[in-house]
Amino acid sequence: MLIKRKPTSAARRHQVVIDRSELHSGAPEKSLLASGHKKRQGRGYKGRITVRHRGSGVKKKMRIIDWKRSKFGIPATVKRLEYDPMRSAHLALLYYPDGDKAYIIAPEGIAVGDILLSGETAEAKVGNALPLKNIPVGMFVHNIEMRAGKGAQLARGAGTSAVISAKEGKYVTIQLPSKELRLIHADCLATIGEVGNAEWKNRKIGKAGRKRLMGIRPTVRGTAQHPGSHPHGGGEGRSGVGMKYPKTPWGKHALGKKTRAKKHRSNKWIVRDRRVK
């Protein structure tokens, strides 16, 4: 659910936030926090900036999420739903009978007290993880593995889901959120249902200060910069790009340049490209 802020200031006049009243308000599960995690702030392994406009922001604790759902046949109880500062989706904390605990992405429609199961014997209901070969055609899934046993890699963002389109032999055809049709091995796991918190995309940040709290720094237009700093810079007054095509700060094509290798190893699994109308 979305909450529209009262216009107590100009910044809050158009602010729309997510209602988190149903989420756990206390600290996260301590045993499931990543130790030694620190912010990269856009730096690569050499300590140099590889992604611009990142830095500052509120300190976050990274939760360890069970992407593999490898405790097959053991029922788990949903203890609580939690906010995760690292992603758009919410988390569900699972308690197993043997005392183990695990975080998973919370699907739409899941509630505290629900019993979830994973493995080939699991029922095809929301929150359960099954091999693709056991999921009926036409069903919505998320948290899809690309290689059996590796862990979920596809359809993990808030409100996203994929659809089982067809089955043939060892492979299953899946329509991803981008409308791309892709072949995935039938033994790969997927979770039934859609990812929760679908209203996330409709929120409005409202003010620049919230972006800074997220760790996102200001972006300056190339045309506003010095010509020594950007190819678009310089000129008298408000000048345009003034060249054949827009460029990056390093002189490369800024728009329309394809970066994917023509002979990429995963191209053979794509049945229909996402760009096809």
pLDDT recorded at residue 142: 98
Contact yes or no for 128/118 (Cβ under 8 A):
yes
Nearest to 242 by CA among 232, 256, 252: 232
Q: Are 88 and 197 in contact (CB under 8 A)?
A: yes
Q: How many H helices and E strands in the chain?
A: 1, 15
The Cα 8–Cα 3 span in angstroms is 14
Q: What is the mean pLDDT of each run of 10 residues along the chain (277 residues)?
A: 92 92 95 89 94 93 96 96 96 96 96 96 95 96 96 97 96 96 97 96 93 95 94 92 92 90 90 87
3-state secondary structure of 93: strand
pLDDT of residue 38: 84
Rounded CA-CA distance 80/24 in Å is 6
Residue that is written with structure tokens 């992405």 in the block: 105
Rounded distance, CA 123 to CA 133, Å?
Answer: 13
DSSP string, 203-223: -B--SHHHHHHTTB-----GG
Q: What is the pLDDT of residue 80?
A: 97
- The label of the residue with tokens 């099954």 reads 130
- Tokens describing residue 93: 């904390």
- Residue 110 has a CB neighbour count (10 Å cut-off) of 19
Contact 90, 28 (CB under 8 A): no
Res 258: pLDDT: 87
Round to whole Å and give the CA distance between 43 and 270. Answer: 32
- Residue 144 to residues 93, 161, 193: CA-CA distances in angstroms? 19, 9, 11
| Report field, pTM of the whole predicted structure over 0.85 | yes
- Helix H or strand E encompassing 92: strand 91-95
Tell me the H-state helices in 123-217.
Answer: 208-213
Which pLDDT belongs to residue 40?
86
